[in-house]
Structure 1
Amino acid sequence: MQNFFPAQYSTLSAAALKDYLIKVYQLDPSTTCRLLIRNVSDTYILENQTQKYIFKIYRDAHRKCDEIEAELELLNILKAEGNSVSYPITDVAGKQIQQFNAIEGIRNGVLFSFAEGKVILDLDSAHLTQLGRDIAKLHQTTSSLKLNNPRPVFSFETTLFEPLKDLKPHFSEMIEEYEYLSNIADKVVKKFEEFDTSKFNYGYCHYDFFPKNFHFDEAGKITFFDFDFAGQGYLINDLMSFLNHYFFHQLNNLISREQAEKDFNTFINAYQQVRPLTDDELKAIPYLGITFHIFFLKFFYDNYDDWSNAFLTPRYTKHRVTLIKKWEEMYCNF
C-alpha cells in the first residue's frame, strides 16, 4: 500500500485541531472547535464558557508564509497603535504561526482574537460616523509604515493588465465581454491622467471593507478583521471597497439610490474629520471600483479549483461583467 496519494486541497480535522490548539496555546480543556468556513482560507471557531477565538488555515497557493508574516506584522502594529482589530495570539513557545503537514503539503495557521459583536448591514448615521473615523484612524497607521515582508501591491498592472492577460483564455468564447473589459480598463487609466495622484494618500489597504469584515458590539465599538487581502495601494481603495456595499445593496433593492448616496457621504464626511481627502481622491474613488471587480474576477479564476463550486461558468462570468457595466453606469463618467 502506497503512502497518502497527493491531494490538491484537504480540510483539517476540527477534532484534531482542538486537541493541538488546546495544548500549544494552553486553552481551557473544555474548548470546542468547529469549522465555520471552507474557502480559500479555512476558518474554525474555538470557544468555551469565557473565551472565543478564530483559527484560520491558509493555503500555500494563495498565501506564502512570508505574506502571512507580513499580515501578522501589520495587525500587531495596528493593535499596538490602538486600532481595534482581531489580532494574532502568541502560543506558549512564542509563535504566532502554526504549521501542519497536510496531505497537500505544509499549511500555515493562525489563532486570532475574536471580534466581539455582530455584522450590521443596514448602518445608521452613528454606525457610519464611527466607521469613517475608525478607518481613517487605521489609515493614519498604515500610511506611515513599511512592513518587513511582502504584501500584494494594488496598481493598474496588478488589478487591470495582469488580470486581463491571465483571463484572456477564459474569455475565448466571450469575445464581446473581453473587449468591454479591455476597453474600460484603458478608460480607467486615461481617466486617472486627469487626477493629481502625487497627492493621493498611499499605504496598506484592507481592500475588503464590506460589513462582513467588521463587527459592532453593543456599545458601538467596531472591531476590524480578515486582513487577508491587505496590500499596498491608494488608501481610497478602502473607501471604494465600502462603496461596493451600497452598490450591491441597491442592486438587491435593499436601499434607494438617494439613501445610499446620503449614507456613503455620511461615512466620507466622518472619515475626513480625521484624514482630509483631496478633491481628486474623492473623484477617483468610483473608478477604482472597476479595478476592484476585474481584480476579483481574476481571483475567482485563480482559485476556482480550490473552491470546488460553480464559479466561473460562462453564465457567472457574464454576470460579473454585467455588474461592472452597472457599476460604470451608476458611478462613472468617462
Structure 2
Amino acid sequence: MKEIFPTHKSTFTGEGLKKNILSEFNLSPDCECVLFKPGLNDTYKVLDNGTAYYLRVYPNKWRTKNDIESELKLINHLDKSNIQAAIPIKNMHDEYIMEINASEGVRYAVLFESAKGKSIPELNVSISRNYGKVVASIHEASDKMEKLERFELNMEYLLDTPLKSIQPFLKHREADFNFLQTTANALSAKISEIMSESKLDYGVCHGDFHYGNIFSGENDEISVFDFDCFGYGWRAYDISVFLWSCVPENNWEQDNLDKRALLWKAFLDGYLSLKPLSEAEIKAAYVFVAIRHIWLLGIHVNGVSAWGTSWIHDKYFDEAITFIKKWIALHKVLD
C-alpha cells in the first residue's frame, strides 16, 4: 500500500462530517453540512430543521487540546454571566471536543450554536456603543475566573514571532523589513514607556474584537463569537482591535477619519459605562493598532498553506506598510 501523500490541511466533505462527527450529536440524520468559511480554521454551517449551528475544525498543531478546552471554559463562563456568545454543544458522550484523524495529523472539531442576530455590513454608533459594553462585560466577568491554560498576548506573540514569519516574504525588500523591525522595536518601547508611568489592565482578552466577530439583533444588542485568538494580555490591546477595524483601513479621507473617531468614541462610551479605562490605556490602544497590524501580517503569511500565496504580493505589503506609517504619523504614536 502506498504511503498517504503529505498534506498541509485537508478539506473534509460535508457528508463525511455528517457520518463521522455530526452523527455523535442530537441532530437529524438528514441535517445539512456545508463548508461555510475556509481558513486557518475551517467553519462548516450545519442546518437542522431550520436551526443553524457552526462546526469549527481546527488545523493540525494550531491549538492544543488544552488550549481549546480553556476557550470553551471561558465561553461557558461568559454565557453563565449573561453575556451573549456562541456557546459550544456537547455530543451524546458528554464531550465538546472531537478528534479527526486527518492525513496531516489530528484535528479537533467543536460544534457551536449560532450567535444571536445577524452579521452587520458596517458599524453604526449604537452598535459600537453596545459593543463597548459587551467588551467591558467580558473583561469584568473573566476576571472572576481561575487562571486558564492559555498563551500570553505579549510582545513575543504580537511582534517577535510574526516578524520571523514575515522576513522570508520580504527577502527582496530588505528596506521594508528593516522598517517593520525598527518600528516594532519602537512600538514595544513605547508600550514599556507607557507602562512605566501607569499600570495597564491585564487579563483575559478575546484577541480579535473586530466587527466581523459579532452579530447584532433588532435593537443593536451584541452577540460575540470566535474566541480562537483569546489569551492573556493587556486590555488596551483588546480594545485597540475595534479601533483598528471599525472603518476601511487605507481610506484616509477626512470623512473616514471622522467616522472612525465617532465610532471609537461610542465604543469607549459604552466600555466606560461599565468599566474604567485610564488615559494611558487609551493612549496605548493607539500604539497597539500598529502592533496589531504587524501581528496580522504574521498570521496571514503563516496561513499560506490554507489559502495560498497568490495574494501575499508586493501590493499587499505596500498597503500594510502604508497603513502602519500613516497611522503612526497621523496619531503621533511614537512621539
How big is the shift at 1:296? Answer: 1.5
Rounded Cα–Cα distance in structure 2 between residues aligned with 1:247 and 1:168: 28
Contact residue 9 and residue 60 of structure 2 kept, 8 A: no
What is the CA–CA distance in structure 2 between the aligned matches of 1:261 and 1:301, rounded to whole Å?
30
Deviations 1:180-235 (A, max 9, x none): 11221222133224324662111111121111100012243211001111111001
User: CA separation of 1:190/1:27 partners in 2, compared to 1, >3 Å: closer, same or farther?
Assistant: same
What CA distance in whole angstroms lies between the structure 1 residues aligned with 2:161 and 2:103?
Answer: 31
In 2 relative to 1, CA 101–190 (structure 1 residues): closer, same or farther, beyond 3 Å? closer
1:157 is matched with 156
Stretches of structure 1 lacking an aligned partner (at least 5 in a row): none
Shift of residue 309 of structure 1?
4.2
Preserved contact between residue 78 and residue 141 of structure 2 (Cα < 8 Å):
yes
Query: CA 1:281 to 1:95, structure 2 compared with 1: closer, same or farther past 3 Å?
Result: same
Report if aligned partners of 1:250, 1:260 keep a CA contact under 8 Å in 2.
Answer: no
3-state SS of paired residue (2:193): coil
- Compute the TM-score of the two structures, normalised by the length of structure 2: 0.92
Q: 2:187 corresponds to which letter in structure 1? A: V
Question: Following TM superposition, by how much is the alpha carbon of 1:256 offset from its aligned partner in structure 2, in angstroms?
Answer: 2.6
CA distance 1:91–1:168, change in 2 (3 Å): same
Name the residue aligned to 1:44. 44
Q: Residue deviations 1:281-316, cap 9 Å, x none? A: 111111011211111211222221222242433332
**Paired residues, number:** 333
Deviations 1:75-104 (A, max 9, x none): 121112221111110111010001111121
Q: 1:254-265, aligned counterparts within 5 Å? A: 256-265=256-265
Is the alpha carbon distance of 1:178 and 1:86 closer, same or farther for their aligned partners in structure 2, counting shifts above 3 Å? same
The answer to whether the aligner puts 1:58 opposite 2:58 as a matched pair is: yes
Summarize the Cα distance change of 1:4–1:192 in structure 2 as closer, same or farther, 3 Å threshold. Answer: closer
Shift of 1:254: 11
Alpha-carbon offset, residue 250 of structure 1:
6.3
**Range with greater deviation from structure 2 (101-110 or 251-260):** 251-260
Asked if 1 retains the 8 angstrom alpha-carbon contact of 2:54 and 2:113, the reply is yes
SS at match of 2:71: helix
SS at match of 1:215: strand
What is aligned with 2:7? Answer: 7
1:25-104 pair list within 5 angstroms = 25-104=25-104
Q: CA deviation at 1:166?
A: 4.1
Distance 2:120 2:204 in 1: 25
Match of 1:307 in 2: 307
Normalised TM-score (structure 1): 0.92
Give the conservation status (yes or no) of the 8 Å contact 1:177–1:318.
no
Structure 2 residue ranges without an equivalent (≥5): none
2:51 maps to amino acid = Q
- The 5-angstrom pairing of residues 241-256 of structure 1 reads 241-248=241-248, 251=251, 256=256
CA contact (8 A) 1:143 1:202 kept: no
Instruction: Give the share of equivalent positions with the same residue, in percent.
Output: 27
